[in-house]
Amino acid sequence: MSLEMTYREALAKSIEEEMQKNPEVFIMGEDIGRYQGTFKVTRGFVEKFGSRSANYNYRILDTPITECGFTGIGIGAAMAGLRPIVEFMTMSFSILALDQIINHAAKVHYMTNGEVKCPIVFRGPGGAAKQLSAQHSHSMDGWYAHVPGLKVLCPATVADAYGMMKSAIADDNPVIFYENPGLYTVKGEIPDDINYTVPIGKAQILREGKDISLVGYSRMTQVHLAAAELLAKDGIDCEVVDVRSLLPLDTETIYNSVRKTHRAVVTYEDWRSGGFGAEIVSRIQEDCFDDLDAPVVRVGGLNVPMPYARNLELLCIPSEEDVVAAVHKIR
């Protein structure tokens, strides 16, 4: 049995079920309660977990617009034994909370040699939506994947949004959970099983092919699936590798694909220079050099602050056409 729903609904269902199962799980963030969240992931939560009339519902905790402050409070609650889910209205705003995420959440387990755990999920829309312009369109995934002690998840499919959220909440580490805003309305199927989980740190092959590996994550995996359709018409058989989890990174699944196809294109929405795709390319060339028939190519966002005008914005975000062009360059 499976259920059809959107990525957004899958996230909501996953979080709601985990909150019903475990009283230690709660969610906090800006306008997530009475207003139900700007991207409506917490629609209906206030009624399900308390009352609309209560001034404060501590399991659906509306916070002031103070990212550094409420992130610190979430981390403290996690260190004291709860399992908070912190929603950022957009991941771009998590920049205000970097000291708490990097200096505190990510380091406390190591600094205490494992005595203190910090089981917390930081989630929200990350990357470009439509014309949110320079300050609201950051792809922060690669920034976080640089930090030891964080896990960074970037689900691309509806089933993964559902199953990976459950795994993130159950994990004893701080988890960055990246939801590209372009994915919220994507439809797909999830198993009708409230205990369904997707293990953290396992990539997947979403389309098998023999000619070239398209390696990506989050919405870029959807771009790869569309590009693979276009390339099939040219007789090029693409394998689509969905990385799913940047940290920990499942290099084996990526390498096995590259060893089969001998060519790879790596696509990421973040700035091309120094983005996480550059790390994936670097690892492929270090560990699979003898298997490669061509240089591994990066397709990344343009190295500019996100412009506002729609035509300029579209130029900055990798598209199916960009991926097709990159494939033709090495095939």
Partner 1 sequence: MGHVRPTDEQFFRTMIRLRHVEKALSDLSASGQLRGSLHLCEGQEACPAGACAALEKEDYLTATYRGHGYVLAKGTSLDKLIAEVLGRSTGLCKGKGGKMHLFDQEFGVLGTNGIVGAGVGTACGAALASKLDGTNRVAMTVFGDGANNQGHLMECWNMAVLYKLPVIFFCENNLYSEMTPLSRSHGNINLSERARGFGLHTESVNGNDPHAVFEVVSKTADRARQGQGPTFIEAMTYRTTGHYQADSGTAYRTKEEVEDWRSRSPILLLKQRIGAIAEEIEAEELAIVQASVTKALSEPTPNPNQAMTEVFA
Indicate whether 172 belongs to the interface with partner 1 (CB under 8 A): yes
Q: Which of 303, 297, 298, 301 is nearest to 317 (CA)?
A: 301
**152 beta partners:** 176, 247
> Would you say 51 or 311 has its CB closer to partner 1?
51
- Radius of gyration of the chain from its Cα atoms, rounded to whole angstroms: 20
Amino acid, res. 268: Y
Select from 13-21, 111-119, 127-135, 156-164 the region that touches partner 1 (CB under 8 A). Answer: 111-119
**124 beta partners:** 178
**Alpha-carbon gap, residue 319 to 269, rounded angstroms:** 9
- With H, G, I as helix, E, B as strand and everything else as coil, classify residue 287: helix
Indicate whether 80 belongs to the interface with partner 1 (CB under 8 A): yes
Shortest Å distance, C-beta 100 to partner 1: 6
Select from 108-116, 132-140, 237-245, 303-311 the region that touches partner 1 (CB under 8 A). Answer: 108-116
**136 belongs to the catalytic site:** yes
Instruction: Single out the catalytic residue among 24, 136, 146, 189.
Output: 136
Residue 47, judged by CB atoms within 10 A of its CB (0-12, 13-18, 19+), counts as: exposed
Residue 41, judged by CB atoms within 10 A of its CB (0-12, 13-18, 19+), counts as: buried
Residue written as token pair 């023999």: 210
> Would you say 97 or 215 has its CB closer to partner 1?
97
> Would you say 103 or 303 has its CB closer to partner 1?
103
Indicate whether 35 belongs to the interface with partner 1 (CB under 8 A): no
Evaluate the CA torsion angle 245, 296, 128, 157 in order and state its sign.
Answer: negative
Instruction: Single out the catalytic residue among 16, 17, 30, 67.
Output: 67
Select from 6-14, 46-54, 96-104, 317-325 the region that touches partner 1 (CB under 8 A). Answer: 96-104
**67 belongs to the catalytic site:** yes
Residues 2, 13 contacting (CB under 8 angstroms):
no
Indicate whether 50 belongs to the interface with partner 1 (CB under 8 A): no
Select from 64-72, 252-260, 288-296, 306-314 the region that touches partner 1 (CB under 8 A). Answer: 64-72
Q: Two tokens at 229?
A: 């359709």
Q: Which member of 74, 124, 188, 216 binds partner 1 (CB under 8 A)?
A: 74
> Would you say 35 or 58 has its CB closer to partner 1?
58
**Alpha-carbon gap, residue 260 to 273, rounded angstroms:** 28
**Which residues of the shown chain bind partner 1 in the complex (CB under 8 A)?**
26, 56, 58-59, 61, 63-64, 66, 68-82, 84, 99-100, 103-104, 108-117, 119, 148-149, 151, 171-173, 248
Residues recognised as catalytic: 67, 136
